[in-house]
Amino acid sequence: MPHVLTSTNPATGEEVWSGETGDAAAEVSAARAAWPAWAAHSNAFRIEALRRFANVVRGKESEFAELIAREAGKPLWEARTEVGAVVNKVQISIEAYAERTPMRKMEAALGNRIAVRHKPHGVLAVLGPYNFPAHLPNGHIVPALIAGNAIVFKPSEKTPATGEFLVRCFHEAGIPEGAVRLLIGGPDEGRALAGQPGIDGLLFTGSARAGSSLHKQFADTPQKILALELGGNNPLVVWDATDIEAAAVIAVQSAYLTAGQRCTAARRLIVEDGKHRELLDVIGKLVDRLIVDQPFADPQPFMGPVIDNAAADHVQEQWLNLMMKGGKPLRRLDRSFEDRPYLTPAMIDVTDAKDRPDEEIFGPVLQVIRVKDFDAAIDEANNTRFGLAASLVGGTPAMYDKYWANVRAGVINWNKPTNGAPSNAPFGGIGLSGNHRPSAFYAADYCAYPVTSVEADRARATIGEGMRNPNLQED
């Protein structure tokens, strides 16, 4: 039975959107019916439709950004950058499709040809997250549509209004309503969508726990594509940094952008024991200056609240757990308003903590770990089941080469934050951070499958061995 789903502004508690939950089977059926006509269009036709979509979003930039800011609680400046990423994704996806899934023809012996082309999977389900409720699902939807797939998109139950707005932009651009379907709902609707026999695959961005559940759910359907973009317990190593101020800024950006609600956020700051105090002092002074406020405040805040009170409660529980295991707070995690999910940027030294949990704390918490030498720093960077992002700040080119060669992650940066990966390059992780289906520029890879053909203008065939001579009589 449908029920009413409501989203609220995490900064104020005011209602942003309300609507009934949908029916997964009905939405998949509608997409299934529309898919053949969408797939039958030429690639040029579909690309032109997506260019119109980019123009529609561009024309609604202010309205879209304000909605994201209200529903997700992120500062307006950051919401604007997200809308810009939605627009830019179209051209990047067009280029990626041409580079990653081109049609190729090769000459073979006896006048034969070998052709490699790509086909869409069919109907793909997309499950979106709340931290980038437009950009991240759009990063799946756009390349999938270009490839010729139809989409059933279920946004996070915490940001349904943003998901609805995004789908409306596709439809206003002339992309058929059947080719992009919207499923409103929570975890139950998500599970129902993932279990529909009418989908040919699922593209997911979210937590490692949810990704693991989907992996198990899809274990008996190897014929369906499953692309998982999950979280990380990401290390930021600062070593022999010549510019402490710059290193501190990179650490703050890595840990606290989007209130720490980025899968690429730095969760662990690894430093050389005995040479760490100046760096931590400068980070602490920067943290004390960060503005935490509602999305439309003036001056604009560095970060807003986390998505809701339940998320804030969970981060606080994880913080207390670190303290109980022996962590020493360097900057406390405080709740500015008891009834609202504002959290202050926090830092805790967990070097001597016992049984430190290897988990993603999806909020503004940076754990400091002191080690004796650079080899120990690399070992600590790899001391996780995750493998999404990692960064080295400082060091020599030789040290970065060693770091790059030995750290297990899908994104490895030097003198740059752990977050903010470019969209014109592949993005994904290993371990609990994904299933080797990188997105961004490589999303084209999981949106279509290659078909190899050997072709000739007319049939020629002989059997050269293993045949009896027709002119010889048997005894």
pLDDT digits (tens, 9 = 90+) for 196-223: 999 999 999 999 999 999 999 999 999 9
Q: Can you say whether residue 326 is alpha, beta or left, with left for phi > 0 and alpha for psi between -120 and 50 degrees?
A: left
CATH number of the domain within which 286 lies:
3.40.309.10
| Residues 6+ away with beta carbon under 8 Å from 124 | 140, 144, 149, 150, 151, 152, 199, 200, 201, 202, 203, 225, 447
3-state secondary structure of 314: helix
Whether residues 329 and 356 share a domain: the answer is yes
Question: Residues 157-174: pLDDT tens digits?
Answer: 999 999 999 999 999 999
Number of Cβ within a 10 Å radius of residue 286: 18
Q: Is 15 within a domain?
A: yes
Question: Residues 426-457: pLDDT tens digits?
Answer: 999 999 999 999 999 999 999 999 999 999 98
Q: Is 427 within a domain?
A: no
Whether residues 200 and 240 share a domain: the answer is no
Given the residues 82, 157, 263, 447, the one annotated as active site: 263
Whether residues 218 and 264 share a domain: the answer is no
Q: Is 468 within a domain?
A: no
Whether residues 183 and 244 share a domain: the answer is no
Phi, psi of 93 (to 5 degrees): -70, -35
Q: Is 465 within a domain?
A: no
| Residues 6+ away with beta carbon under 8 Å from 135 | 82, 85, 86, 89
Q: Which residue among 385, 414, 443 closes a domain?
A: 414
Question: Residues 353-392: pLDDT tens digits?
Answer: 999 999 999 999 999 999 999 999 999 999 999 999 999 9
CATH number of the domain within which 178 lies:
3.40.605.10
Per-residue confidence band for 258, with pLDDT thresholds at 50, 70 and 90 = very high
Q: Is 59 within a domain?
A: yes
Is 263 an active-site residue?
Answer: yes
Whether residues 278 and 408 share a domain: the answer is yes
Whether residues 238 and 164 share a domain: the answer is no
Q: Is 428 within a domain?
A: no
Is 447 an active-site residue?
Answer: no
Whether residues 184 and 273 share a domain: the answer is no
Per-residue confidence band for 472, with pLDDT thresholds at 50, 70 and 90 = confident
Whether residues 203 and 284 share a domain: the answer is no
What is the total count of domains within the chain?
A: 2
Whether residues 242 and 219 share a domain: the answer is no
C-alpha–C-alpha distance, residues 72 and 129, integer Å: 10
Whether residues 220 and 145 share a domain: the answer is yes
Q: Show the domain range for 145.
A: 4-230+434-455
Given the residues 229, 272, 360, 447, the one annotated as active site: 229
- Tell me, what's the pLDDT at 474? 63
C-alpha–C-alpha distance, residues 215 and 474, integer Å: 61
Q: Is 421 within a domain?
A: no
How many Å from the N-terminal Cα to the C-terminal Cα in the chain?
79
Whether residues 215 and 152 share a domain: the answer is yes
Q: Is 31 within a domain?
A: yes
C-alpha–C-alpha distance, residues 370 and 463, integer Å: 71
Whether residues 243 and 226 share a domain: the answer is no
pTM of the shown model: 0.95
